[in-house]
Amino acid sequence: FTHSENKVADLTDLGLGHILLMDQDLDSSELVMAFTEDVGANIVFNPVGSSVFQAGIRSLSDRGTMLVLGEIEGNTSSMNLAEIMFRNASVTGSTGASITHIEGAVELMEKGFIDPIVGAQFALDEIMQAYDMMKSSSVLGRVVIKI
């Protein structure tokens, strides 16, 4: 899913099979259920946080897991516990990586095994511009702060 029409072509070029342009009135969980014939997703990756939390829960299959990797807006999210209980679902939060993971990722990049998508780079004194870009959803890939 993306909310940015500008990203559709780039995501297609990356080889993604199904790219759905979302609008504010469309509930992504309804699309997930339609694509999976009402089974739901085994894993939901949520890098956005509270604004898509409820839709993520509703998208889960029986015994599905939502992995929460970020919180962009800093909001709280209420939880319908019945949605989680009756799906036998799990919600796992993660900051993403330990220093060991980061060192391993750098090694994989240096060896050419992975090529992360870096959409923009900023100096530390430009951190507010980086934040604004990230919040606007105009960048494809990671926003990197150079220290």
Q: Within this chain, do residues 56 and 104 fall inside the same structural domain, yes or no?
A: no
**Which one, of 21, 27, 20, 94, lies nearest residue 54 by Cα?**
27
Q: Within this chain, do residues 82 and 107 fall inside the same structural domain, yes or no?
A: no
Predicted pLDDT at 27: 84
Q: Which domain holds residue 128?
A: 99-146
Is position 130 within any domain? yes
Predicted pLDDT at 65: 96
Predicted pLDDT at 38: 96
Is position 1 within any domain? no
Q: Which residues of the chain have a pLDDT value below 70?
A: 24
Predicted pLDDT at 105: 87
Predicted pLDDT at 68: 92
Predicted pLDDT at 3: 74
Q: Within this chain, do residues 26 and 88 fall inside the same structural domain, yes or no?
A: yes
Structural domain total, the chain? 2
Predicted pLDDT at 75: 79
Q: Within this chain, do residues 18 and 83 fall inside the same structural domain, yes or no?
A: yes
Pairing mode, if any, of strands 41-46 and 90-93?
unpaired
